Amino acid sequence: MEELAGTPVEVSGDLGGLPAAVEVAAYRIVQEALTNARKHSGAARIAIALRRETCLRVTVTDDGAGIPPDARAGVGLASMRERAAELGGTCVVGEAEGGGTVVEAELPL
């Protein structure tokens, strides 16, 4: 994924044997978060973390401008939430500690 993302990916836990639907959802959520960060935020750094616990936790954090308070949720943000919800999971987009944006998804296994 690092080659596709163009940024390091922090991995915790064994990602082998994930259900295909979880792999696809995680990939698409990361892809959309990266697109948003590169297109809208002016971020200098983007970090991706994948953690396998009782679920797969996907976190994409950038140090960009963040989401303006008056911003409308677009198709990309809605699609990330829908992908997680289809699996019974969640996806939350908010302000990162210290500025920027964080996308946090939890995908049940």
Please determine, for residue 20, whether its predicted confidence score (pLDDT) is greater than 90.
Answer: yes
The reply to whether 69 falls in a domain is yes
The reply to whether 35 falls in a domain is yes
Mean pLDDT over 4-15 rounds to 86
Domain range spanning residue 44? 2-89+101-108
Please determine, for residue 69, whether its predicted confidence score (pLDDT) is greater than 80.
Answer: no
Please determine, for residue 4, whether its predicted confidence score (pLDDT) is greater than 80.
Answer: no
CATH code of 70's domain = 3.30.565.10
Count structural domains, the chain. Answer: 1
pTM of the model: 0.90
pLDDT-derived band at 11, boundaries 50, 70, 90: very high
Nearest of 45, 58, 43 to residue 12 by alpha carbon: 58
Is the separation of the CB atoms in 56 and 21 below 8 Å? Answer: no
d(CA 55, CA 29) in angstroms, rounded, equals: 15
The reply to whether 95 falls in a domain is no
